[in-house]
Amino acid sequence: MNSDWFHEAGWGVFTHWCKGAASPDEYNARVDAFDVDLLVQQLVEIGTPYYFITLGQCSGYYCAPNPTYDAVVGYEQSHCSRRDLVSDIATALAPHGIRLMLYLASEGPAGDPAAARKFMQLGGQTLGWDIEGNRLREGRRGVEFMKLWQPCIRDWSERFGDQVHGWWVDGCYWPEQIYRHADAPNDKSFAAAFRAGNPKALLAFNGGLETPIIAHSEHEDYTAGEVGHLLPVGTRRTGGALLPISRFVGGGIQYHILTHLGEHWGGRPSRFPTELVVGYTKLVTDSGGVMTWDAGLDDTGNLYPEHFDQLRELGDAMRQSP
């Protein structure tokens, strides 16, 4: 199956590197200062089989160029970085056999009202974070937005090609209204945009924090599995049935959990002793699942020391595990 390599990998590292900026110049300076060699050195020492980084998260700033996005937004200075940080990281990881995967928010530049208006995103509501504003999406399909946003995703995917091995797509909170339709735009066309550059890229649609670890679309390869302050030992579904962690859910979709080492996503300090991190990872992988840990990353691409130490110990333990 397409997810075989992911299952065999068993565990990996995720980082949120998605701050906005006061200006494109400030953002470009931050992206230019990102030390790819340092990050790769740390990931190699950890021994992670795969690594996720955020391409962008609702701010309207993205760490790789995208002419299609620029044409829609029409800013005098692009909010997409000059440097293709994604390709630089992928190129540096490849000799070490570490696969790069990407995070992208499905809401596009929802935190940038001017850009959101250009994308015809329900009048430019900042839908990424405002729960009250999010309710405006209930019952609304967002066809105009999707028709503009999907070509932007396709642009990035074709740029990266087979350097990117998977996507974790956030914010897919209204599947019935937005994605589950027979005609495009729908989850099928959305998935096709993400896989335009690599048909084998793995894909997960995130239906929300602490939701049951289930499949949300037949076009997924693995579950998003976003978990905050609860570490599940099974999948709770409607009716209260508690199912054990296993390789597959929803008819062939890889069971996967993503949670944070720190007090919050990309935060510090570490909230668990290393023994728990190792033990829980083994619980998930021994049951057929895949476990991803979010770690803190500073502006220069340096993992927080406390998270690096824990992940290095985790890597050592997983290599010794039968």
Q: What is the SS3 assignment for 114-176?
A: HHHHHCCCHHHCCCCCCHHHHHHHCCCCCHHHHHHHHHHHHHHHHHHHHHEEEEEEECCCCHH
Task: Please state which of the ranges 210-214, 252-256, 270-274 shows the lowest mean pLDDT.
Answer: 210-214
Q: Are strands 256-260 and 290-295 parallel, antiparallel or unpaired?
A: parallel
Closest by CA position to 38, among listed 294, 297, 266, 301: 301
Q: Is the pLDDT of residue 139 over 70?
A: no
Side-chain half-sphere CA neighbours of 317 within 13 A: 19
Share of residues in the chain with pLDDT > 70 (%): 88
Query: What is the rounded average pLDDT of the residues 274-297?
Result: 97
Task: Please state which of the ranges 102-106, 123-127, 219-223 shows the lowest mean pLDDT.
Answer: 123-127
**Domain spans of the chain, in order of start:** 4-320
The 3-state DSSP class for residue 8 equals helix
Query: What is the rounded average pLDDT of the residues 264-292?
Result: 96
Side-chain half-sphere CA neighbours of 107 within 13 A: 29
Arithmetic mean of pLDDT over the chain: 89
Task: State residue 231 phi and psi, 5-degree precision.
Answer: -105, 105
Q: CA–CA separation, 245 vs 213, rounded Å? A: 9
- Does the domain formed by 4-320 have CATH 3.30.420.10? no
pLDDT of 132: 45
Which residues lie closer than 8 Å to 12 by C-beta, 6 or more apart? 48, 49, 50, 51, 52, 101, 290, 291, 292, 293
Q: CA–CA separation, 212 vs 88, rounded Å? A: 35
Closest by CA position to 127, among listed 106, 146, 147: 106
pLDDT in tens, 222-255: 999 999 888 887 655 544 445 678 899 878 999 9
Query: What is the rounded average pLDDT of the residues 269-287?
Result: 96
Q: CA–CA separation, 308 vs 132, rounded Å? A: 37
pLDDT of 237: 52
